[in-house]
Amino acid sequence: MADYNRYGYGGGYGHGPPPSAPPAPTSAPPPSSSSSYGYGYGAVPVAFPPGTHPDVERAFRAADRDGSGAIDEHELQGALSSAYHRFSIRTVRLLIFLFNDPASSSPSRMGPAQFVSLWNCLGQWRGIFDRYDRDRSGKIDSRELTEALRSIGYAVPPSVIELLIANYNNGVPSNGALDFDNFVECGMIVKGLTEKFKEKDTRYTGSATLTYDGFLSMVIPFIVP
């Protein structure tokens, strides 16, 4: 339990310039209210957050082939694969679930603001991956995964690390390792579950009381593909 309260930190990513994302433009447009972003063009006005790097805008517009202002899971998969890594459709769905507003009218599609958040977050995961993949093998092993998650505030117990590694290696934990896709998926799952848990553990006691319905509703979105 000594490390438990570290899980409450988690402030190392999700905001601020990510380690490996494109640098912010030097002349950002002036901030505008977050409810009505200041600019947009194309078939449908597309609202990017102020200061979005042109490369990220370009990636979104290239993916949004029908110019609808939102991209579906296959378009997102294409956009991310060209910039970061080949992500499985399962990972892509998890990312859409985690980054979309739960009250969104189109929960299976992602708008520009969510895309920018996701892009920046993946840049940070890439930076973490590269930092902890010390031998440049392109893989993160269980010790490195433990350290990487700890570096961003998640003290994940060894038994859970073993479960994660084993499940991405056909059930065999020993000598298993994760590539970037699986690392992101693991990291997002730990992050997402921890945030859900924290919503029920507002005083950071390390335990939470859940109803059966609440438990199912909390967990099932992470499970089904």
- Helix/strand/coil for 13: coil
The kind and range of the H/E element at 160 are: helix 158-167
189 belongs to the binding site for its own copies (CB under 8 A)? yes
In terms of C-beta density within 10 A (0-12 exposed, 13-18 middle, 19 or more buried), how is residue 139 classed? middle
By CB under 8 A, name the one of 170, 174, 175, 202 that touches its own copies.
170
What's the rounded Cα separation, in Å, for the pair 92 and 118? 11
217 belongs to the binding site for its own copies (CB under 8 A)? yes
Using the structure block, give the residue that is written with the tokens 């994660």.
164
Contact range with its own copies by CB under 8 A, out of 23-31, 46-54, 127-135, 166-174: 166-174
By CB under 8 A, name the one of 159, 174, 175, 202 that touches its own copies.
159
By CB under 8 A, name the one of 96, 116, 145, 148 that touches its own copies.
96
Do 43 and 23 contact (CB within 8 A), yes or no?
no
The kind and range of the H/E element at 146 are: helix 142-151
Closest distance of CB 184 from its own copies, Å: 13
Q: Which of 83, 90, 80 lies closest to 167, judged by CA?
A: 90
Residues 10-69 that bind its own copies (CB under 8 A): none
Residues 106-125 that bind its own copies (CB under 8 A): 106-108
In terms of C-beta density within 10 A (0-12 exposed, 13-18 middle, 19 or more buried), how is residue 173 classed? middle
2 belongs to the binding site for its own copies (CB under 8 A)? no
Closest distance of CB 136 from its own copies, Å: 25
Q: Which residues bind its own copies (CB under 8 A)?
A: 4, 7, 73, 90, 93, 96, 106-108, 156-157, 159-160, 163-164, 166-168, 170-172, 185-186, 189-190, 193-194, 197, 201, 206-213, 215-217, 219-225
